[in-house]
């Protein structure tokens, strides 16, 4: 498995991975047809195994969406970061990928 920067060619695999990750949780109906584009600086990484996207993380830095009550909020060195997307394919979560 490798962790690398997301690129536009990954979009279809990213969407598939996101949908598959949400099937067994309360977000099952939060379907997207395009990957989010962030207004603020962001870090978008994918986990790739055998040429397949198996997970991803998106981090938006200093987002306007941040509130004091958000669960996925982190303050580091005075900078706020929001993790709008962080998933791994559920079928792989018991194989040491999590």
Instruction: Give the model confidence (pLDDT) of 44-64 as tens digits.
Output: 999 999 999 999 999 888 755
| Confidence tier at 82 by pLDDT (50, 70, 90) | confident
CA distances from 6 to 51, 53, 66, 70 (A): 13, 10, 23, 25
Say if residues 13 and 52 touch (Cβ distance below 8 Å). Answer: yes
Domain spans of the chain, in order of start: 2-92
Q: What percent of the chain is predicted at pLDDT more than 70?
A: 73
């Amino acid at each position: 498995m490798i962790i690398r920067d997301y690129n536009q060619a990954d979009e279809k695999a990213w969407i598939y991975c996101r949908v598959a990750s949400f099937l067994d949780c309360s977000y099952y109906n939060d379907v997207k047809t395009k990957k989010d584009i962030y207004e603020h600086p962001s870090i978008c990484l994918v986990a790739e195994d055998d040429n397949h996207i198996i997970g991803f993380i998106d981090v938006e830095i200093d987002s306007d969406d941040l509130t004091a009550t958000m669960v996925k909020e982190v303050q580091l060195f005075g900078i706020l970061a929001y993790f709008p997307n962080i998933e791994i394919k559920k079928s792989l979560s018991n194989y040491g990928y999590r």
